[in-house]
């Protein structure tokens, strides 16, 4: 049997297989509230041993994109419960990804009275979609003060506590894709001169403080984090290769000391082999590998020594029954790229399922 399909037990994680559904923004949370359509979507994909949700805002100013869910209000906590119930009925573990977009966003996507916050006031180059005006240049962020940093850390803690109240098994802190945590790590975005800027230890401080505070609040066994070393997402400019590796080694060592459940690494072609070794040698917990994997390359990765689990994004997006398709070596559905971020079920819950008895119901009266 493929290792992918066998049970996984390591530390606090006890999963029915080695397959993880990776976090993917889908923009179906109208008014930033989870809903029954989202419950159906995640419930369809419970072949995975672990499901990580789409990026979810821990605070109003973290809502950089349109129609992403939040976890900072009681209404949002209640709304998430229908989703966690559906996933647990399918036998999957369910982690909520906490995503603070920092400077990556636009004020039209934020509630009135809030503004973008960043490690610095350096505006990102590029554009983002808004429901009000279409594509717009990124808004200018306000550099977080020390009090502002402490508030953001508190927001992460409250959001993590809310996630547990909503029925999640844990949280994954988003430290990748050029969002707030990675903005602090990157010296080309972080121009601070206080204890949160400058050398590796200082630039890593915010990330470690967020993780430590969350782990202290909900438990190390319920805390994970996602990284994307050497990524250019979010208008990140790459910095010295050795310093980048040393940064992630330093963070991995500190996270190992805290004792969190896992590190989730989104791979890209720019990551040198030394960096993989550096993270693995400094972190004894579970490591999840993701980004562009196929069932074949995912299986190979599980035997290569770095990854304990492998995560799949687009494969789960277009194949609710992805794990069954791995078992049967079945072809995969193509992705409906035109409807990735729209508001209805098309390109979301209407993908064909091989078992006709479990095919999702489609509301024929829905207007797209």
Active site (catalytic) residues: 179
- What is the token pair recorded at 170? 């844990």
Interatomic CA distance for residues 75 and 55, integer angstroms = 18
Q: CA separation (Å) from 59 to 151, 158, 323?
A: 10, 9, 34
Pairing of strands 117-118, 127-130: unpaired
> Treating both helix axes as pointing N-terminal to C-terminal, what angle do 200-218 and 146-165 enclose, rounded to 10 degrees?
30
Question: What is the b/e burial string over 241-279, where b = at least 16 CB atoms within 10 angstroms of the residue's CB?
Answer: eeebbebbbbbbebbbeeebbbbbbbbeeebeeebbebb
Interatomic CA distance for residues 154 and 149, integer angstroms = 9
- What is the token pair recorded at 171? 């949280």
Strand ranges (E), 43-153: 50-56, 93-98, 117-118, 127-130, 134-137, 142-143
């Amino acid at each position: 049997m493929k290792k992918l399909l066998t049970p996984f037990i390591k530390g606090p994680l006890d999963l029915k297989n080695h397959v993880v559904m990776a976090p993917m923004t889908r923009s179906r949370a109208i008014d930033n509230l989870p809903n029954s359509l989202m419950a159906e979507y995640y419930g369809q994909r419970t072949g995975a041993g672990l499901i990580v949700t789409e990026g979810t805002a821990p605070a109003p100013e973290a809502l950089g994109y349109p129609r992403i869910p939040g976890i900072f209000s009681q209404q949002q906590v209640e709304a998430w419960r229908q989703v966690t119930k559906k996933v647990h009925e399918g036998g999957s573990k369910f982690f909520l990804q906490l995503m603070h977009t920092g400077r990556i966003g636009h004020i039209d996507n934020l509630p009135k009275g809030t503004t973008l916050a960043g490690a610095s006031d350096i505006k990102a180059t590029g554009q983002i979609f808004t429901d009000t005006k279409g594509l717009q240049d990124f808004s200018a962020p306000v550099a977080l003060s020390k009090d502002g940093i402490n508030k953001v850390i508190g927001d992460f803690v409250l959001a993590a506590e809310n996630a547990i109240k909503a029925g999640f098994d844990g949280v994954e802190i988003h430290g990748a894709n050029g969002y707030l945590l990675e903005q602090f790590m990157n010296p080309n975005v972080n121009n601070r001169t206080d204890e949160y800027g400058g050398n590796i230890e200082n630039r890593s401080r915010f990330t470690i403080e967020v993780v430590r505070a969350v782990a202290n609040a909900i438990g190390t066994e319920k805390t994970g984090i996602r990284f994307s070393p050497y990524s250019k997402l979010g208008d990140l400019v790459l910095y010295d290769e050795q310093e980048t590796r040393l940064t992630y080694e330093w963070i991995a060592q500190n996270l190992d000391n805290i004792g969190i459940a896992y590190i989730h690494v989104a791979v890209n072609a720019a990551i040198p082999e030394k960096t993989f070794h550096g993270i693995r040698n400094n972190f004894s917990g579970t490591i999840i590998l993701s980004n562009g994997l196929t069932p074949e390359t995912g299986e190979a990765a599980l035997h290569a020594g770095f990854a304990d689990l492998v995560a799949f994004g687009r494969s789960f997006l277009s194949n609710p029954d992805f794990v069954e398709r791995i078992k049967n070596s079945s072809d995969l559905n193509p992705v409906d790229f035109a409807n990735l971020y729209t508001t209805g079920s098309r390109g979301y819950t209407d993908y064909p399922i091989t078992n006709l008895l479990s095919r999702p119901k489609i509301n024929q009266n829905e207007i797209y």
